[in-house]
Amino acid sequence: MSAWRKALLDWIVPAALGGAATLGFAPYNLYPLTLLAVLGLIALWRGHGPGRCAWRGFVFASVHFATGVYWIYVAMHGHAGVPAVLAVLSVGGLSAYLALYPALAGALAGLMRRLPLTLWAMLAVPAAWTIGEWLRGWVFTGFDWLALGYIGTEIPVNGLAPIIGVHGLSFLIMAAAGTVYMLYVGRLPARLVALVLILVTPVLLWCLPPAVHWTHPAGPAMKATVIQGNTPQSEKWDPATLAPTMAAYERMTETSDADLVVWPEVAIPAFAQRVATPLRRISRQAAARDQLVLAGLLRLDPDGQRYYNSLLALGAGRGEYHKRHLVPFGEYVPGPEWLGSLLSGMGAPVGGLAVGERVQPLFYKGDIALGASICFEDVFSRNILTQMPRANILVNVTNDAWFAGSNGPPQHLQIARMRAAEMGRPMVRAANTGISANIGFTGRVFARTDEDVRTRLTGRVVPREGMTPFVRYGETPVVAGSGTIVLLGLLGAAVGGLRRRGQNRVADRRRALAGRV
């Protein structure tokens, strides 16, 4: 292979495909480009060993993640004041780390390269990709952003989300790309199989999943209002903004006749104890209207030693929820104390938030249970599953002002839509500067706000009960199935390799004997 061809196939093409893959996610939603990108990656992997496949997967994913999560640079440099060099290095380092998992998938695909094309393209590669993606969501607390299945929110395959979840959709999307690859390079039997699948699958996806509603209404519709205060991140923690921010939320709440009012994450930039007087007034007035208000605030422990990112119930409800899945190196620093001091000295913003309990009581409005998540928590299905099937409505509060002007807020909304579809529950989503939304139980957005506007979003929300297959079984079937396929594929490849070596030795002996004769 010439140096130019090697550079083209090992660097340029994987990098271009990785950048194209990002365009299938929000806000671009050009999902055919993502399908073509992973199809190209499969083609780059076919017939090559684990080392080359791992490298091409790494280059592909490094560019994919760098272009997909560049909002981290916006948050660090644009809003947190981190030096540009450190912000660039952080995005680059994170992208390189995240790329290790597609590299692992590539290595596994290379090890299984001698499997029959049909098995390799339709089962082995999708399973390897799914295992890598699942691991990415768990190791070091996980970073499950840009899972391939999220592009399913824009295509009919999303009807399978309540059954197999986002990682199951990732498997199917990779399998679809592998099927198209078979159609072009496979032998006649493989091409016929691919052609039948390509013709039949869209019909099945169109006819079957939308007709299956795994959950049903749990009561009459509630009127829900989201208050989007639109406090710019650059002004939020200025002490001069506290009083007008508190007054704005109080005014917009007391003029609402909704059954449920939701404020964004840390809507009021203060500890709840500091604004106890207006909170008591809001709670008293909301109770008189039989209204439940969920207010995002910081909550200080009575001993004054720990503080939480919290959601507090006011009015016709009681209770509080503390964020339990914190953002590493943002809300807390994993590891020794000196690491936090070092990062702080370098200009990086590091928090000292305490972690809430893994399982916490739900909020209630009458008999209707509401399951809460704060910001980053809804990226992980497992966080929401702890509240199921008790929760009838999901509530997510966030402050995506950190990522304003980037692809971060639309991507986060796309993730919220997937959680609603997986659980078969509607979601009320409140974001400080947007995008707030009223999301149906199938992941459909009924109404949403624009970014960078102060507004209220009011709509009807029908609580639901029952269990989707995903709620009942979680990720276990998809992960166990993918793991089994990979193990069998590796075993089959190893046995095939031993058989070929044996055949080669026999052939060598025969040639040696023939030479003596």
Which residues belong to the active site?
265, 323, 375
For residues 418 and 153, the answer to whether their CB atoms sit within 8 Å is: yes
Burial class (CB in 10 A: 0-12, 13-18, 19+), 154: middle
For residues 428 and 262, the answer to whether their CB atoms sit within 8 Å is: yes
In order, the DSSP letters of 390-458 are T-SEEEEEE-GGGGTTSSHHHHHHHHHHHHHHHHT--EEEEESSS--EEE-TTS-EEEEPPSS--EEEE
Tokens of 77: 């440099």
What are the phi and psi torsion angles at 303 (to 5°)?
-80, -5
Residue 235: how many CB atoms within 10 A of its CB? 12
Helix axes 13-22, 50-68, angle to 10 degrees: 40
Q: In what order do the strands lie in the sheet containing 427-431?
A: 363-365, 368-374, 393-398, 427-431, 437-439, 445-448
Tokens of 19: 């950048």
For residues 392 and 463, the answer to whether their CB atoms sit within 8 Å is: yes
